[in-house]
Amino acid sequence: MKERIVITVIGEDKTGIVANVSTKLSELKLNIIDITQKVFEDNIFAMIMLVEVEKNVDIKKLQEEFKVFEGKIGVKVFLQHEEIFKTMHRI
């Protein structure tokens, strides 16, 4: 059974962010279901991805995988279960 997580990536815009994040997700055997990105006026890059993972995935372990990665490409990466994300952003 699969479940979904939301991955948010924020940082200064530069070449390779999408490629690097996608490659890391592929290495972790995580499937991208949906992706959206935007570069704001002040050169701020923001990307939100909906990713399919195995049921009961350890989000903390995945976040640790991305901590080293964050420093390498200079962005912040946040992971949340889809239901938590939806609950936090419900109007």
Over residues 46-57, the pLDDT tens digits come to 999 999 998 888
Among the listed residues 34, 32, 33, 20, the one whose alpha carbon sits nearest the alpha carbon of residue 69: 20
Amino acid making up residue 44? I
Amino acid making up residue 32? I
CA–CA dist 15, 20 (Å, integer): 10
Q: What is the pTM of this model?
A: 0.85
Q: What is the pLDDT of residues 10-24, one digit of tens each?
A: 999 999 999 999 999
Residue 55: per-residue pLDDT:
85
- The answer for residues whose C-beta is within 8 angstroms of residue 40's C-beta and 6 or more apart is 46
Residue 68: per-residue pLDDT:
81
CA–CA dist 66, 31 (Å, integer): 16
Which one of 3.10.110.10, 3.40.50.880, 3.60.15.10, 3.30.70.260 gives the CATH number of domain 2-88?
Answer: 3.30.70.260
The total of other beta-carbon atoms located within 10 Å of residue 53's CB is 21
